[in-house]
Every structure is written in C-alpha cells, then in structure tokens.
Chain A
C-alpha cells in the first residue's frame, strides 16, 4: 500500500494549489521521459502526457494506492499511447527491455570495467533513466544530483531541506533501491551475476 501517494491524491483533491504544483513538478518531467522512450514526435509526447495528467486529475478520486502514483500514471500513459497507435492503425513500437539491453548495466554494476559503447547505447540509457524515474520519491533526484551533477551531500541536504546525516542516509537508501530495481528487471541475470 502506497500511503504517502494516497495522501498526496487526497491533498490534490482538497484543492491545495501548492500540492498540485509540487505534484506537477515531480511527475510531469518523469512522464515526459516515459513518453520519450516510446514516441519520437515531441508534439505527440506533449499530447499524450497532457492527456495522461488530465485523465489522472479526473480519476484521482479512484486512486486507491495499490500501485505507486508513478506506476499508476504510467499505466494511464501506456493506454493513451496504445490507443493513439490503434487510432492511426499502427502497432505501438516494442520498448526494448530484453536481456541484451540489461546485461551491460548489470555487468557495469558488477565490475569496474568500462562498457562505454554499450552504456551509451540510447536504449540502455533510456532504461537506466526509467529506473531512476521509477524509484521512490526523491531517490532518483538525489542520485542524479550526486552522481550526474556532482553535488556534495551538503548541497543535496540543503536542497532537500534535510540534515547532512539524513541526506547521507537518503543517498544510501537510494543506491540500494537503484541496485534492487536494476536487479528486479532481470532476476535470472541477477542470479547468474551472483553465482559467477
């Protein structure tokens, strides 16, 4: 049960503008990236993501917290995209998430050897971004700030209005969650990685 997300849904429906804006700032960029992985037309991404968020607003009263808010939003977005492709009589492109794509990521995590060419492959990159976006609230952002932007723990703590210790703890939990999320994408490969 995703109680925090359920509380968020209730606050949104109560009419709290600040909560609505935080919700938008948090989920719009993530849904945009979700759309980027599946569509190649910027205006179509805008339409799909806008429809998704508008439908989410209309259905917020039915959200029961059984899935995380982002998973729920992605399900709506996926339906929007599928319906778009059906309307134009084309099959939605398959989103690659096969073993060949995941293996380099796992290998990268298992060893220090560079796999630049594979990691730079756009599809793999998109998959890692998707993992970051699917992490619980703040985890993906903290990892991005720390390891992509190179912010210090002190700076992250300040941005998230946390103590330095709490920010360190958050980063540790975020790393564990990131690793776990990557592992869960392919349990079989993970098992092979552990036994090799």
Chain B
C-alpha cells in the first residue's frame, strides 16, 4: 500500500513526465558509427592494459633483481648515482634531500628523490639526454630518470636528444603531462596548471580527463577540472625564458647546417635554405669560436657574419638563409 502523500507525488511526477514526452534517442546510423569508433578505442585500450600488466610483471622481476643488486651495491658502499646534472650556473639553485632542509646546490648529487628549488633559472640534463629548463621561483622533485614532480612554478622539457622511446612525465598535484617526443612547458600554480606544446605531442591527464595536446596548443586546467585551450605559436615570447636558459652549445668544429638546426629548434622556427647551393655551402662551412652567454637568437647574426651565408627576409616563423657566393 502506498501512502496518500506518495500518491500525490506520484501523480505530479506522472503529469510532469507525460508533458515532457518520450526521451530523444540518437539516430541508428549515428549510434552505429559512434559505437564502432568507441569500440575500436576500447579494444586498443584493453590491449594496452594487458601489455602494461605484462610490463608491470616484468618490472616486478626487474625490481627484485635490482634490489638484490642494490643490496650488494650498498654492501660495497657504492653511492646512489646521479640521474641528472646542471648545465648552467648553480647560483640561486637550492638542493634538498627531503624537501624541507635546503642548501645551495653547488656539487650536491642530483639523485632520484632529491629536490630542487630555483631563485634563478637553470638548465638540467638527464643522463639519457632529456634537457629540462627550470624557470625562476620553481620547486620540484626528481622522482627518477623518467619523472619529475613539479610542486610549483614552470619547467620546459626538450626530449630531442633523448634516444629512448621511454616517455618522460611531469606530474603536478592537479594531473600529469607525458611527453611523446617533444618540447613543452608545464606550469603549476595555486589554482590551475597548464601545458604548452611547442613541438610534437603531450598526453595530459588527471582523474577526470585524458587529452592529447598538440604543437601550438596550450591547455589550462583549473583545480575544479575546467579546461581551456588556446593557440601559442612555437616562437611566441612565452618560450623566451627557456631559450635564455639553454645548456651549453659548442660551435667549435661544427658545420653551419647543424648550428642552424639547433637555432631553429631553440627558437621554435623552421629552417629554410634559399636553394641547394646555400644548403651545400652551409654544410661545408665549419664554425669556430664560442657563443657562450648568447641566446640562440642573439648568436645567429654573430655566427653568420663569419660565413658567406646571410639571413634573408621571410615569414616570422621561418629562418631563411641564402649564400652570397654565386656558383
């Protein structure tokens, strides 16, 4: 038996729903198309999950092996090896073993688990080749050689020289950015985080979303999960601090093409030669001297002055060069 009040409520609900009418259902052809696309993604994800589980199993065995090795290493007194080194001045860079007691970095080892805090920007290179540039007022923890936990501030990553396909992750308290062969910036602030991609692609995820961010895109995600995407050119001013924090680049004995490619990558521009003569001339030109203390942009005219190659006007996103020698 139902209570009288419940009857009244039921009648009111009944009246309301009858006026609302049948709920729309998606057209059949749309349902088939979407089902096929989603099913494909699901099957791929299931396959990858199985592979991941297999890798975890394999990694488990590796951990046991590593533990035995570590045990032996500790017994022989061998230290925890550094996973990265500083490419720039250590002035204004602080190191901590536990994230609470800080000391000037100086020659402290950047081992897995150690913390860094910057008053000045810094360039750090990992043993496997990945270059990280840490902006001022940033703190982070080096989790291992494939992950950095960004507590606060901004980090730029360039995986160009990283030979392995192992993804590198930047985790924040809001979510994680995983690089897929790229240059990108991650910023973590008080109420939001952002990922800005210059080249390649980054996988951005948290417990509510998983998204691929492509070159030229910047995604900002608030702590409530709202996401906004904007366009940021690869040569936008927002990349400049990273260019200014570059690791050392020796031009001594290097050919001009190799140097120009480096400038293009550092400045987010494309490199174009006016013709095959120019490209041949550039590949045959060997450089001497040093560009220390200059940014890639600043060094360009300085270096070209000592060669027969000159910059010519082109689109903003292109470094265009031409030989002065007539063939």
Residues of A within 8 A of B (CB): 12-15, 20, 24, 28-29, 32-33, 36, 42, 46, 49-50, 53-55, 57-64, 66, 72, 75-76, 79, 82-83, 86-87, 105, 108-112, 114, 116, 119-120, 125, 128-129, 132-133, 143-144, 146-149, 172, 175, 178-179
Residues of B within 8 A of A (CB): 2, 6, 8-27, 30-31, 33-35, 37-39, 41-42, 45-46, 49-50, 205-211, 225-230
Contact call B34/A105, Cβ cutoff below 8 A: no
Return B197 CB to nearest CB of chain A, in Å: 15
> Out of B50, B210, B227, which one reaches A58, CB within 8 Å?
B210
Contact call A143/B42, Cβ cutoff below 8 A: no
Residues of B within 8 A of A133 (CB): 23
| Given A57-B41, A172-B6, A178-B13, also A24-B207 (CB < 8 A) | no
Residues of B within 8 A of A32 (CB): 24-26, 30
| Given A63-B207, A82-B228, also A57-B15 (CB < 8 A) | no
Residues of B within 8 A of A75 (CB): 208-209, 225
- Docked Cα-Cα span, A62 to B174, in Å, equals 13
Residues of B within 8 A of A61 (CB): 45, 49
Contact call B226/A79, Cβ cutoff below 8 A: yes
A-B contact count (CB 8 A): 148
> Out of A87, A144, A172, which one reaches B17, CB within 8 Å?
A144
CB-CB nearest 5 A-B residue pairs:
A59-B210, A147-B17, A15-B46, A32-B26, A54-B41
- Docked Cα-Cα span, A187 to B42, in Å, equals 40
Chain A interface, >50% SS class: helix
Residues of A within 8 A of B12 (CB): 108-112
Contact call A125/B20, Cβ cutoff below 8 A: yes
Contact call A143/B208, Cβ cutoff below 8 A: no
5 more contacts with CB within 8 A, not counting A54-B37, A54-B38, A82-B227, are: A29-B25, A46-B34, A53-B41, A83-B229, A147-B14
Contact call A128/B20, Cβ cutoff below 8 A: yes
| Given A55-B209, A86-B230, also A144-B13 (CB < 8 A) | no
Contact call B30/A46, Cβ cutoff below 8 A: yes
Residues of A within 8 A of B10 (CB): 175
- Docked Cα-Cα span, A7 to B172, in Å, equals 27
Contact call B13/A143, Cβ cutoff below 8 A: yes
Return A140 CB to nearest CB of chain B, in Å: 8
Contact call B17/A128, Cβ cutoff below 8 A: yes
* 17 A-B contacts (beta carbon < 8 Å): A13-B46, A32-B24, A33-B24, A36-B24, A58-B45, A59-B205, A75-B209, A79-B227, A86-B228, A110-B12, A125-B19, A125-B21, A129-B23, A144-B22, A144-B23, A148-B18, A175-B9
Residues of A within 8 A of B24 (CB): 29, 32-33, 36, 129
Residues of B within 8 A of A57 (CB): 38, 41-42, 45
